[in-house]
Chains A and B, each alone.
Chain A
């Protein structure tokens, strides 16, 4: 069974850092692009970043460029999001998702909540 399990969320002060992890199982992890999507409380979905199969290509939404870094460890079947210089507007549930060839996401984790507040 395909599973994506996020961890690492929590309360952090503005300007702080946090590293999110997504543990993947039930599929050949290095066959897939992976994505982070976030959802602020009561708001819509926002695509954050994605990474290709071997980690050599990464893409970001403008609002996190230079502050967030997506990475992966294919040997550990894990996806990461290193977040720094966090702002209150980064407060959201962060989901990891597996990409299909079409670029859509049929598998999502349950999400991890990041709260940026003093």
Chain B
């Protein structure tokens, strides 16, 4: 079955610096890659996603890149702020009729130091 690896498991950056989280997936049939942010005591929130027909997607300070050949994708957060501190999960999906059944990575705990 699909396996998603995620690195690093923890990441500390100074406020204003960039943060990069990398994920790899095993199943070349995966075609949808969402990223979720989980804040303490809250459920996960979708922050950005990318489909296999796109190489890069950007939304304000957040961007995601996808390399289908290497089967890896990355989350980039620029100009980090303390409120970016959270656990981030990458995921991969190859749903038959939808993109809903996803396999999650183990998560990255990001700390932004003021």
Asked if A and B are interacting partners, one says no
* Interface of B toward A, CB cutoff 8 Å: none
